[in-house]
Structure 1
């Protein structure tokens, strides 16, 4: 075996995706750092930016050493600094926290598809960095009152085992559906919380997009997120559980775009992939059969929405292709 084997196909693919995501974050942080009013929030974002820049450079070196084209990713051409605020009231850290949540999942998955020691180490280090930043964001938002905790509930005092098919949610005309268990509550709360931030983000994108088809697409996504929030909130209300809400992350009246339509479309595409994965987990861990049915409908809508977005990106030349294999 050679001392330094070439990058495998999976390593090229995962590094390419990581490069796209990291350059997106770096580009958007340029705007959020400039606009930050809170010194603690600014420090969180500044620390992350300086750290990520090093890893973008490492990926570029890996590609160059293996004669793999370095992706274009996202650059200063995709951000407009010096424009009025599009988001306010803690949205920058709310957004960053959700992006870091996506990153944690991606780094773990990418680690399972890595073989070369330097690539494995890169994802291990990125995982630690991401977890630290995610915790910093969470504690900041909790301290400011922007992040609602999951509902507190009273639980049974003894261990129980499921008795009969009613546990799976078969309708009983006398008892109705069983109460939600805490695993189901956790996934529903997470879905509502994520979609609240996503809805605020995408409505802001719709307000500032320069291309009409992109603006219409963003608005449609906002309505999709709103529908999911409404549906999952209704499940909580039926079970006398408090609905999570946030006092932060409002959209301002500015219509001047801080970001290019290209990077906003990519960001929404990334969030769609995250939503599909999150809803899949929610479906897998929900044993009351009405919940997977609801989530499956939304997964179908999200998949079709993401596909529609891909068509818009291709139409405008905004979709960068991953490295292709050569046909012999």
Structure 2
């Protein structure tokens, strides 16, 4: 089918393509800084392949927008990355960052695929999901081989099917009695949240060191403390069952104070991670059968929501928030 008689894209497809453009142009700027400093050939190959895939995605979206007569978003450009500055993150942070971002992308693009109707758009998001899964697999493997990715705890394999007979199974930790041990579903959600926050905390530390605007710097320090709060709060649930929370010696922020990225992009990335953190907390709470876990997840979610809202306000205040395409305002017709 030619572009001239192609079915127009829907509002949902437009919104999802617009969001993908923002995210992919941001990823490209990160990869440009990483590629400039990476020494490991295997990691460099992953970074360059990811960069090429992102650039191709950006070009594909631009083509679709041009065919539809839509303006191409600004996204993040060469003005948002500074070349020739010291590396901001140390040993193996590059695959750790991509490991974290590919988790987000797999979920995001799979969702966008199910929200798309035009065949070429469905195929685009299907391919993006596959690409992100491949990046996740590659980063997971190399981090495991380097010994810096903590596997979740092993447990004794079940030997029989057991049904819950006591409503106390739903009870959480109280001052009067201990809660039952975590089940493996609850444990998996906690481990995932801690693992992600460890990478995010180093990101916040690095960002806070190099931010130029004082308000942005204070906000990023707040993000650093919030990541620590999430890690220690959820880690306590593991410690109650004599399980050590995941940790890693790699991927630390360096002592550089020279910004490789614009304040605008650092706030955007922080806001993006906060938004997905809210989704993870909601998922973790939904799958938890111990009453104390959903309450804890809800308290953390409130903190993350307030933090994300503050980040949005900083973006708007500085004129950094690019406005998504809008639905036509037909309400004004009622005032004629």
- Shift in Å, 1:52: 1.6
- Shift in Å, 1:273: 1.2
Residues 120, 210 of structure 1: CA spacing in aligned structure 2 closer, same or farther, 3 A cutoff? same
Q: Which residue of 2 aligns with 1:148?
A: 150
Q: Which residue of 2 aligns with 1:205?
A: 207
Matched length: 327
- Shift in Å, 1:183: 0.6
Partner secondary structure for residue 210 of structure 1: coil
How far apart, CA to CA, are the structure 1 residues paired with 2:146 and 2:230? 26
- Shift in Å, 1:94: 0.4
Partner secondary structure for residue 43 of structure 2: helix
Partner residue of 1:184 out of 177, 183, 186: 186
Partner residue of 2:327 out of 317, 325, 328: 325
1:32-60 CA distance string (max 9 Å, x none): 01110211111100011112211111100
Residues 204, 173 of structure 1: CA spacing in aligned structure 2 closer, same or farther, 3 A cutoff? closer
How far apart, CA to CA, are the structure 2 residues paired with 1:267 and 1:170? 35
- Shift in Å, 1:243: 1.5
> Is contact 2:33-2:87 (8 Å) kept?
no
Taking the TM superposition and a 5 Å limit, the aligned residue runs for 1:237-256 are 237-256=239-258
Uncovered stretches (5+) of structure 1, i.e. residues with no partner:
none
How far apart, CA to CA, are the structure 1 residues paired with 2:320 and 2:233? 33
> Is contact 1:33-1:45 (8 Å) kept?
yes
More divergent stretch after superposition (174-183 vs 74-83) = 174-183
Is 1:309 matched with 2:318? Answer: no
How far apart, CA to CA, are the structure 2 residues paired with 1:324 and 1:180? 45
Partner secondary structure for residue 270 of structure 1: helix
More divergent stretch after superposition (119-128 vs 164-173) = 164-173
> Is contact 1:97-1:138 (8 Å) kept?
yes
How far apart, CA to CA, are the structure 2 residues paired with 1:156 and 1:238? 21
How far apart, CA to CA, are the structure 2 residues paired with 1:173 and 1:133? 45
Q: Which residue of 2 aligns with 1:40?
A: 42
Taking the TM superposition and a 5 Å limit, the aligned residue runs for 1:108-123 are 108-123=110-125
Q: Which residue of 1 aligns with 2:13?
A: 11
Partner secondary structure for residue 295 of structure 1: helix
Q: Which of structures 1 and 2 has the larger relative contact order (alpha carbons within 8 angstroms, sep 6+)?
A: 1
Partner secondary structure for residue 14 of structure 2: helix
Q: Which residue of 1 aligns with 2:234?
A: 232
Cα RMSD, aligned residues only? 1.4
More divergent stretch after superposition (306-315 vs 237-246) = 237-246
> Is contact 1:27-1:74 (8 Å) kept?
yes
Uncovered stretches (5+) of structure 2, i.e. residues with no partner:
331-336
- Shift in Å, 1:154: 2.5
> Is contact 2:173-2:292 (8 Å) kept?
no
Taking the TM superposition and a 5 Å limit, the aligned residue runs for 1:79-98 are 79-98=81-100
Query: Please, what TM-score do these two structures have when normalized by structure 2?
Result: 0.95
1:120-177 CA distance string (max 9 Å, x none): 0100111111101110000011111111000112244322111111100256888621
How far apart, CA to CA, are the structure 2 residues paired with 1:8 and 1:251? 42
Q: Which runs of 4+ in 1 moved over 4 A?
A: 170-175
Partner secondary structure for residue 142 of structure 1: helix
Residues 170, 48 of structure 1: CA spacing in aligned structure 2 closer, same or farther, 3 A cutoff? closer
- Shift in Å, 1:68: 1.0
How far apart, CA to CA, are the structure 2 residues paired with 1:252 and 1:54? 31
Taking the TM superposition and a 5 Å limit, the aligned residue runs for 1:21-40 are 21-40=23-42
1:228-279 CA distance string (max 9 Å, x none): 1001111111111122111111111110001001111110111011111111
Q: Which residue of 2 aligns with 1:267?
A: 269
Residues 173, 258 of structure 1: CA spacing in aligned structure 2 closer, same or farther, 3 A cutoff? closer
Q: Which residue of 2 aligns with 1:284?
A: 286
